[in-house]
Structure 1
Amino acid sequence: MADEPCISRSDHATLKRHAFTILVIEDNPDLRGFIREGLGHFNVIEAADGEQGLLMVGEHLPDLIISDVLMPGKNGFELCRIVKAEEATSHIPVLLLTALGAVEHQRAGVDCGADDYMVKPFNLNILVGKVSNILTARARYREMLLKGVSEPGDESRVVKNAFIEQAEQLILRHLAQTGFGVEDLGRALHMSRSTLYRKISSFTGVSPVEFVRRVRLRKSCELLKQRPDLSIGEVA
Structure 2
Amino acid sequence: MLRLVNQILDFRKIENRKMKLLLERTDVIILLERVMDNFRLIAEEKHIDFRLHSQTDNISGWIDQDKFEKVMFNLISNAFKYTPDHKSIAVWVSVKDETLVLSVKDEGIGIDLKKQQSLFQRFETLVRYNILQPSSGIGLSLVRELVELHQGSIEVNSQPDVGSEFLVTLPLSHRAYEGKENTEFIVNDSLSTEQQEAAEACPDTCTEVDDQEKELVSVLIVEDNSELRTFLYDILSETYKVIEATNGQEGLQQAVQYMPDFVISDIMMPMMDGLDMVKAIKCNRDICHIPIILLSAKSSLDDRISGLEQGIDDYVTKPFSSTYLKARIKSLLNQRKQLQELYLKQWSERKLGHSIPVVPIEPPQPEIVCFDELFMQQVMEVMEKQMDNSELTVDRFAQELAMGRTVFYQKLKAIIGLSPVDFIREMRIKRAKQLMESGEYNVSSVAYMTGFNDPKYFSKCFKKQFGMSPSEYGKERKQND
Q: Which bin holds the TM-score, normalised by the shorter protein?
A: 0.7 to 0.9
Q: 1:74 to 1:107 in 2, by over 3 A?
A: same
The aligned counterpart of 1:101 is 299
**What is the identity, as a one-letter code, of the residue corresponding to 1:82?**
A
The aligned counterpart of 2:320 is 122
The aligned counterpart of 2:368 is none
* In structure 2, C-alpha distance between the alignment counterparts of 1:145 and 1:112, rounded to whole Å: 22
Q: Percent identity?
A: 27
**What is the identity, as a one-letter code, of the residue corresponding to 1:45?**
I
Q: CA deviation at 1:94?
A: 0.7
Deviates more, 1:216-225 or 1:73-82: 216-225
The aligned counterpart of 1:91 is 289
Q: CA deviation at 1:16?
A: 4.5
Tell me if 1:208 matches 2:420: yes
The aligned counterpart of 1:235 is 449
The aligned counterpart of 1:35 is 232
The aligned runs of 1:94-173 (5 Å cut-off) are 94-142=292-340, 148=345, 162=373, 163-173=375-385
* In structure 2, C-alpha distance between the alignment counterparts of 1:115 and 1:22, rounded to whole Å: 14
- 3-state secondary structure, aligned to 2:299: coil
Q: 1:229 to 1:174 in 2, by over 3 A?
A: closer
Q: 1:232 to 1:185 in 2, by over 3 A?
A: same
**What is the identity, as a one-letter code, of the residue corresponding to 1:27?**
D
Deviates more, 1:185-194 or 1:30-39: 185-194
Q: CA deviation digits over 1:45-94, x for unaligned, max 9?
A: 11111122111111111111000111111110011011111111111111
* In structure 2, C-alpha distance between the alignment counterparts of 1:20 and 1:187, rounded to whole Å: 26
**What is the identity, as a one-letter code, of the residue corresponding to 2:434?**
E
Structure 2: unaligned runs, 5 residues or longer? 1-20, 22-182, 185-203, 354-371, 451-481
Tell me if 1:66 matches 2:278: no
Deviates more, 1:136-145 or 1:222-231: 136-145
* In structure 2, C-alpha distance between the alignment counterparts of 1:140 and 1:224, rounded to whole Å: 29
Count of residues in Structure 1 that have an aligned counterpart in Structure 2: 224
Q: CA deviation at 1:187?
A: 3.5
- 3-state secondary structure, aligned to 1:222: helix
Q: CA deviation at 1:225?
A: 2.5
* In structure 1, C-alpha distance between the alignment counterparts of 2:434 and 2:244, rounded to whole Å: 45
Q: 1:137 to 1:16 in 2, by over 3 A?
A: farther
Q: CA deviation at 1:33?
A: 1.4
* In structure 2, C-alpha distance between the alignment counterparts of 1:110 and 1:144, rounded to whole Å: 23
Structure 1: unaligned runs, 5 residues or longer? none
**What is the identity, as a one-letter code, of the residue corresponding to 1:170?**
V
The aligned counterpart of 2:245 is 47
- 3-state secondary structure, aligned to 1:45: strand
Q: CA deviation at 1:118?
A: 1.6
Q: CA deviation digits over 1:210-231, x for unaligned, max 9?
A: 3223322321232122235323
- Indicate the structure (1 or 2) with the bigger Cα radius of gyration: 2
- 3-state secondary structure, aligned to 2:320: coil
Q: 1:167 to 1:5 in 2, by over 3 A?
A: farther
The aligned counterpart of 2:219 is 22
The aligned counterpart of 2:200 is none
Q: CA deviation at 1:193?
A: 1.8
Instruction: Give the conservation status (yes or no) of the 8 Å contact 2:221–2:265.
Output: yes
Instruction: Give the conservation status (yes or no) of the 8 Å contact 1:5–1:128.
Output: no
* In structure 1, C-alpha distance between the alignment counterparts of 2:212 and 2:389, rounded to whole Å: 34
Q: CA deviation at 1:180?
A: 4.2
Instruction: Give the conservation status (yes or no) of the 8 Å contact 1:224–1:235.
Output: no
The aligned runs of 1:162-201 (5 Å cut-off) are 162=373, 163-201=375-413
Instruction: Give the conservation status (yes or no) of the 8 Å contact 1:26–1:67.
Output: yes
* In structure 1, C-alpha distance between the alignment counterparts of 2:418 and 2:240, rounded to whole Å: 19
1:57 to 221, 233, 255: 255
* In structure 2, C-alpha distance between the alignment counterparts of 1:24 and 1:110, rounded to whole Å: 19
Q: CA deviation at 1:139?
A: 2.9
- 3-state secondary structure, aligned to 1:62: coil
Structure with more relative contact order (C-alpha pairs < 8 Å, separation 6 or more): 1
Tell me if 1:75 matches 2:273: yes
**TM-score, length basis structure 1:** 0.81
Instruction: Give the conservation status (yes or no) of the 8 Å contact 1:181–1:212.
Output: no
* In structure 2, C-alpha distance between the alignment counterparts of 1:99 and 1:5, rounded to whole Å: 26
* In structure 2, C-alpha distance between the alignment counterparts of 1:5 and 1:104, rounded to whole Å: 34
What do you get for the CA RMSD once the two structures are aligned? 2.9
**TM-score, length basis structure 2:** 0.42
Q: CA deviation digits over 1:78-130, x for unaligned, max 9?
A: 11011111111111111111122222222221221111112222222211111
Instruction: Give the conservation status (yes or no) of the 8 Å contact 2:435–2:441.
Output: no
